[in-house]
Amino acid sequence: MKKTAEHKHVIKPGATIGVLGGGQLGRMMALAGRACGYRFITLDPTEDCPGAQVSDRQITASYDDVEGAMELAASSDVITYEFENVDAKVADILEEQSYVPQGSRLLRTTQNRIHEKSTLASFGIPVAPFRVIASAAEAGQAAEELGLPLVMKTATGGYDGKGQRVIRRIDEIAAGYEALEQSGAEIIVEQFIPFTKEISVIAARSVSGEIQTFPVAENIHRDNILHLSIVPARVEADAAGHAEKLAADIAEKLDVVGLSP
């Protein structure tokens, strides 16, 4: 049988998967992959990080360490990243030296809330109305336009409730802006959307464009950190179907390879 581009990059059990990032998602990836016969190398700046504890090897290096990235490329059959806060420039280099199915273009989009929201909006995907701000005064103007409460966030680097503030009163704007400004990242404010519950869908897309969605999950947070996910979500079938379609549409329009939450 003639090999297509898809067959050329089939990663069979026994192959080594290099992972940029060694957090809890990298750990879960390695545990699932090892059960299928794959080997793992983790690159992470924290020695004995969660992902490294269940990997075959760790390269202890920062995410912008080109030398460490080249070592990862030389030792891996395929490279992926476990979260979006890795260095996109390093991903660029790895694309030239190794097989990185997700690439760096998608990484650049998803690691910046401004790019991510603008891109999704351009596809007709609904996002919370937002404004990019450069001062507390501009935040106040955005509050007049979007209404209160609103959520103030750093455009990059935030996770698990970090890098964001819920603004419920006008007199909270200045302190909120001052706290986030220290990160050095761009800042946005977005309209607070009242909700009954949060649900999420993971979509998987192959290199040949096939898409499959996982069952809809209902997420419960404590102190802005995910505490519990219930699958299947306790929602009506129509709502679940709509969420699954949105997830598949986003994966296709972003040209995702791999998993897209």
Return the closest-CA partner of residue 87 out of 72, 101, 66: 66
Which structural domain, as residue segments, surrounds residue 181?
128-191
Per-residue pLDDT, 8: 57
Q: How many residues does the chain have?
A: 261
Per-residue pLDDT, 65: 93
Per-residue pLDDT, 160: 66
Question: Is 178 domain-assigned?
Answer: yes
Per-residue pLDDT, 83: 81
Answer yes or no: do 79 and 143 share one domain: no
Answer yes or no: do 210 and 249 share one domain: yes
Per-residue pLDDT, 3: 37
Instruction: Supply the pTM of this predicted model.
Output: 0.82
Tens digits of residue pLDDT in 90-144: 888 888 888 998 888 888 888 899 999 999 999 999 999 999 999 999 999 999 9
Per-residue pLDDT, 261: 57
Angle between helices 66-75 and 88-97 (to 10 degrees): 40
Question: Is 109 domain-assigned?
Answer: no
- Identify the CATH number of the domain in which residue 185 sits: 3.30.1490.20
Question: Is 221 domain-assigned?
Answer: yes
DSSP string of 173-231?
HHHHHHHHHTT-S-EEEEE----S-EEE--EEE-TT--EEEPPPEEEEEETTEEEEEES
Residues of the chain with pLDDT under 50: 1-7
Answer yes or no: do 72 and 154 share one domain: no
Residue that finishes a domain, picked among 191, 206, 222: 191
Answer yes or no: do 46 and 88 share one domain: yes
Per-residue pLDDT, 204: 94
Answer yes or no: do 183 and 246 share one domain: no
Answer yes or no: do 23 and 83 share one domain: yes
Structural domains counted in the chain: 3
